[in-house]
Structure formats: structure tokens, C-alpha cells
Amino acid sequence: MKAYSFLFFIINVVLFSTVISAKSFDPNDIEWLDIAHWNETDFSKLQKRSYENQVKNVNFYRGVDVSSIISLENSGIRFYNSNGQQQDLFEILANVGVNCIRVRIWNTPKTTSGKIYGGGNNDLEVAKTIGSRAAKYGLPLFVDFHYSDFWADPGKQSIPKDWKNFDLDKRVFEIYKFTKGCLEWLLENGSLISMVQIGNETTCFMCGDKNMNNVMKMMSNGAKAVRDINRNILIALHFTNPNKSDTMLWYASQLASGRVDYDVFATSYYPYWHGTLDNLKWTLNEVANRYNKKVLIAEYSYPYTNAAKTSDGNNYGSVYQGLKDTNFRYPISVDGQEQCIKDIYSTMKSTKNGIGAFYWEPAWIAPQARNDAERKQIWEQYGSGWATTAAAEYDSSANRLQTGGTSWDNQAVFDQNGKALKSIWALGEKAPQINQELKKKNI
């Protein structure tokens, strides 16, 4: 009898091993508790969860992307509300009426020896910290998957180091696994989630691949991972250069013909690069009318000053009056920044199926330092600038002359000392709150 029992045990082990290694293996059968510790995943935990209490619907997004916040705080930066009182950044944002936090996720933003790439060092653990802190103030996440180890944008969509030898089928599977695993890890650790973005500024280019059919396969599998977590989480696909209306509409038509499952057609819109709001509205209206998709501005910003002196001495990435190929449609001032924000929200409210906009990195200011050399050392140590020198091994644009620097300091809604500008109130719908004690002193 013992011999038969032992034989039965061996047969079951072989069958189980075959199932989990076969191509027909269905990842839906596994709860990916910790994507970073695959070998420690509890395969016996097969129940599916809906996370209904952690999926938060938002009718109109008045959001911000503050992905750099942890590196900024590690660099000694603190933030102050309109009354000059130091507060947690997420509390300040919630108090002005911001209702969602966008956070980027890179696969492995560091070298094999552990040296950070910078730009906020936005791996899953950083996203987890941001998510749990945002949830404290009732703010859900808009999770932005780059499917890269560092910045993904129209100019580059570098494949993650760990995926560089994968063929398309393997990449498609890894995108599913990574997406689902990250979302479950965020939810398991207390994050609220409202929307998920599959790829960042994917202008026919994603995860190292420029073939649109391949890109759509990867998008579809990322979308499937989100649906398998909870069908109430919105799925966004993100493009850019909306001034090129024909190209934007071509993307939308390709997604329709490829039957890609998604809810939100999103675009970046930087007013100094991307044309008029009237053109943007026309383009997004066309997408909404033709394909019945929600439409969204996933990124926007505007400068309040020309002074970007706390970047890296080269003004890398900064925008200012006189910069080539820019057209500033508002005064470069706090008032101009405020009006830009108001106009963007007004445009999206009047656009068919418009669901809002997200201000990109409104708190990315420079650390205080005695001199530029000390400031650059802080950027290098904590990754709170555009890139560290270590990033050059992965991203060739992060060369010696372009590392460090905030690149966005003059487009923040906080001054260089971390105090909120009055334009911050335009991000939400709440009226500015004046400290009555301070008001009495000024009477």
C-alpha cells in the first residue's frame, strides 16, 4: 500500500510540474502575491480576489503625477501649504481637491550592482510606498506602467534588461505577469486603484518593439491582467503629440481594428509643444465619437517662471522663454500657470467623454544646497534628478552632460523653498483656505 501511495505521489508531482511549465499554463490560476519573489509565491493560494473595496471610481479626474516624491523627501525637500505650514505632500494635494495620484513604475531602475538610475527610482516598492501614503488621504492611484527600466517616451522605449533576450511571445506573457503581479502587490499593501496605463507615450513603439501589431499584442495582454484583477479598474492607453491629429486618429483606428480592450484614450498635452486646446478638443472628440472611448490628458504642465537655475547648469529638459520649438500660449507667471490649468480642465469638461487631466510632477523642485556641486551630489545619491551617472549604461541620453537636474523645477506649483503657489488651488475644485490667525495679523 505504501508503495502505491508513493507512486501516486510521484505521478502527481510530475503532473503538477508539467502543468506549471507547459505553454498552456493559465496565469489566471495563480495569485501573484509578490512579483519580486516568484519562487516564494504560494501556489496553493488559488482563490481570486476582486478588491472591490480598494477600487475607487472617479467621475472627473483632477490628478497629479508625483512619482518623484520619495526621492525628493530623501533629498531633504519638505513641502508647505498656502499658509506656510509644513505638511505631507499628499495632505496638501487632497486639501486643494486633487482626487487621484499618477505613479510610474519601471521594472528595475538600477544597475546589476544596485546603483540607482534616478528620476525618482520608481520601482514597485516606491510605488507601494506612494500608494499607501496616498490612500491615507483617500487618494487612489493611476498606475503608469512603462515596461522599461527607465524613461519610456516617443524617443525611446527600451526593453527591460531582464527581458532583452525574450521573443515576442515571452514578452507578451511577461507583461501579463508583471502587470498583474504589481497590481496585486499594490492592493495587498493598501493602495487604492482607479486606473491603469498600459505603456507610456507609446507612439507605435513599446517595450523595444516598433511593430504596431506587436505593440497591440502586448497592450492586450497588459489589459487582460487588469481585467483579471478587477473589471471596474479603467484601462488607459497613452499616446502623445496630439497636435498631429491624423496620427492620433490613426492610432485609435489601429486599436479598433486590432480589437484591443481598453477604456480610455489618453494623451500628453504640453501647451508649449502640442498646439491649441481647440485642436486637442477636436481630436479627442473625434476619438470619442468614432470609438466611444473615454478621453484623458495623462500629462500636462506649464512654467511659472523662466528661472530654471536649479537644474543642472545646462537647463536640460527645462522650458523657458526663447527655447527653440516652443510656443508659450500664456504668460510665464503664476497667473499664467493658473489660467492654463483652468483652461485645460474647462476644455476636458466640454469634450465628449472627457474625464479629466493629470499635472505632471508639480512638486519636482531642487534640494537646498550650499552650491551646485553639493546639489548635484544630492541628486546623484538619492536619484532625485533627471538621471544619475549610473543610468548611462541603460539610457544613452543620460550621459555626463545630462545627468542630475530637476528639469521641471520651474513648472512646479511650489516655489523653490517648497511653499505652495496660489496656482495649486486650480488643480482642485476647492476654494483657497486662508488661515484665520494669519489673516487677523494682516488686518
Rounded to whole angstroms, how far apart are CA atoms 211 and 277? Answer: 30
Strand partners of residue 80: 86, 419
| Nearest by Cα to 67 from 138, 111, 118, 137 | 118
Please count the structural domains in the chain.
1
pLDDT in the model for residue 438 = 44
From the list 31, 174, 184, 299, the catalytic residue is 299
Question: Is 201 an active-site residue?
Answer: yes
- 3-state SS assignment for residue 145: strand
Rounded to whole angstroms, how far apart are CA atoms 61 and 384? Answer: 27
Cβ–Cβ contacts within 10 Å for residue 87, how many?
16
User: If residue 330 lies in a helix (H) or strand (E), which one and from where to where?
Assistant: none
Q: Is 31 a member of any domain?
A: no
Q: Is 265 a member of any domain?
A: yes
Question: Is 31 an active-site residue?
Answer: no
Q: 265 is written with which cell numbers?
A: 484614450
Domain that holds residue 286: 59-441
Q: What's the pLDDT band for 399 if we cut at 50, 70, 90?
A: confident
More confident residue, 369 or 28: 369
**Cβ contact 213:260 at 8 Å:** no
Burial of 140 (0-12, 13-18, 19+ CB in 10 A): buried
Query: 287-340: per-residue pLDDT in tens?
Result: 999 999 999 999 999 999 988 755 555 666 688 888 888 999 999 999 999 999
Q: What is the CATH number of the domain that holds 363?
A: 3.20.20.80
How far, in whole angstroms, is CA 421 from its chain's centroid? 23
Cβ–Cβ contacts within 10 Å for residue 439, how many?
10
More confident residue, 415 or 441: 415
Q: Is 76 a member of any domain?
A: yes
% the chain with pLDDT above 90: 76
pLDDT in the model for residue 315 = 63
Question: How does 380-411 read in b/e, with b if 16+ C-beta sit within 10 Å?
Answer: bebbbbbbbebbbebbebbeeebbbbbbbbbb
34 pLDDT higher than 50:
no
Start-end of H helices in 144-298:
168-188, 212-229, 245-257, 277-291
From the list 174, 201, 338, 361, the catalytic residue is 201
Residue 127 region by backbone torsions, left for phi larger than 0, else alpha for psi between -120 and 50, else beta:
alpha
| pTM (global) more than 0.85 | yes
Query: 93-130: per-residue pLDDT in tens?
Result: 999 999 999 999 999 999 999 999 999 999 999 999 99
Q: Is 227 a member of any domain?
A: yes
Q: Is 19 a member of any domain?
A: no
Taking the CA atoms of residue 410, residue 411, residue 413 and residue 418 in that order, the dihedral angle to the nearest 10 degrees is: -40
Rounded to whole angstroms, how far apart are CA atoms 191 and 175? Answer: 21
Angle ∠(145,119,214) on CA atoms, nearest 5: 30
18 pLDDT higher than 70:
no
Q: Is 37 a member of any domain?
A: no
Q: What's the pLDDT band for 247 if we cut at 50, 70, 90?
A: very high
Query: 67-85: per-residue pLDDT in tens?
Result: 999 999 999 999 999 999 9
Q: Is 13 a member of any domain?
A: no
The C-alpha cell 501556489 sits at 43
